[in-house]
Homo-oligomer: A and B are copies of this chain.
Amino acid sequence: MVTVIQDVREMQRASGQLRMTGKRLAVVPTMGYLHEGHLSLIRLAKQHADLVITTIFVNPTQFGPGEDFERYPRNLPQDTRLAAEAGTDYIFAPEATSMYPEGYRTYVNVEQFDRMLEGKSRPGHFRGVATVVAKLFATTKPHVAVFGQKDAQQVVVIQQMVRDLNFDIEIVVGPIIREADGLAMSSRNAYLEPDQRKEAVVLYKALQLAQERIQVGQKDAARIIRDMNDLITSRSSGKVDYISIANGRTLEELATCDKQRPLQVSLAVRFGTSRLIDNIFITD
């Protein structure tokens, strides 16, 4: 049994009452169009809490002009069924007009990260992410919140925001879930033409190449990145937006991938009008 709530006040009342009964609440923020990646996060949330609230909201403030806000796939009836099957107790699915009513003007910004990698490629994206996550936290009042490693920089931004703003919320990160051929699951995979879908496996192959090189002790980050780039461009029609080898905590890019761990190898590649991201987190 899943309860679907659209109203902010109603969600706040429900969460407040559940907390008063001593229940431990987890929230899994999503933009819907749920796939196995999201469902794994819901199952993980259930391991960390008594009750799971899955939020489904395609957040307009994290899309830039010309990005895919309008065409982002939506299917609330299917999401409700899938989320319930995975163990969701409450779905919070607000309307954009109730989240951002006329006169809305408050934004949370996690500085510096907005100028790196995804933040650099998508101006305003992480300001929108931090803002909506702060709002979803205030509305769902969780003890624990679960995010996917797929959006690696988002994880770092949220962890920093939670620490800085003193949110009393535990952040749990679930691993990337991949298709059989290695492509990271993403709602945006639905955009791919059949040929692009086949080619897109090269993203994970490039990340695996980097991981192997680093694990055998290759230190020159620029050389690894060049080889990843060559692999992607030679085996697909993908246009590389960025490839990065960075400190896994600060996301500062590294010239040498020496003994420093964790490392975050990440990339963004465009296939036609679709833009895919993927990453590998190397702790050794």
List the interface of chain A (C-beta within 8 A of B): 8, 12, 16, 19-20, 22, 104-113, 130-131, 134-135, 138-139, 141, 160-161, 164-168
Contacts and interface: CB of A to CB of B under 8 A. Distances in A.
B166 A8 contact: yes
A160 B107 CA distance: 11
B109 A130 contact: no
B105 A160 contact: yes
Minimum-distance CB pairs A-B, first 5: A106-B164, A105-B111, A138-B166, A12-B168, A139-B166
A46 to B, nearest CB: 22
A237 to B, nearest CB: 38
Contacts of A161: 106
A161 B104 CA distance: 9
Contacts of A12: 166, 168
21 contacts: A8-B166, A12-B168, A16-B168, A19-B19, A104-B164, A105-B110, A105-B112, A105-B113, A105-B160, A106-B160, A106-B165, A107-B109, A107-B111, A108-B108, A109-B109, A131-B165, A135-B164, A135-B166, A138-B166, A139-B166, A141-B168
Contacts of A139: 166, 168
A165 to B, nearest CB: 6
Nearest to A161: B106
A89 B168 CA distance: 22
Contacts of A167: 138
Contact of A20 (B20, B113, B164, B166): B20
Nearest to A22: B20
- From A104, A105, A111, residue with most partner B Cβ within 10 Å: A105
Contacts of A19: 19-20
Nearest to A114: B105
A111 B127 CA distance: 13
Given A16-B168, A135-B165, 5 more contacts: A20-B22, A105-B164, A131-B165, A135-B164, A141-B168
A60 to B, nearest CB: 14
Nearest to A11: B166
A111 B124 CA distance: 14
Contacts of A134: 134, 165
B112 A109 contact: no
Contact of A106 (B104, B110, B168): B110
B106 A106 contact: no
A55 to B, nearest CB: 12
A109 B111 contact: no
A281 B70 CA distance: 44
A138 B168 CA distance: 7
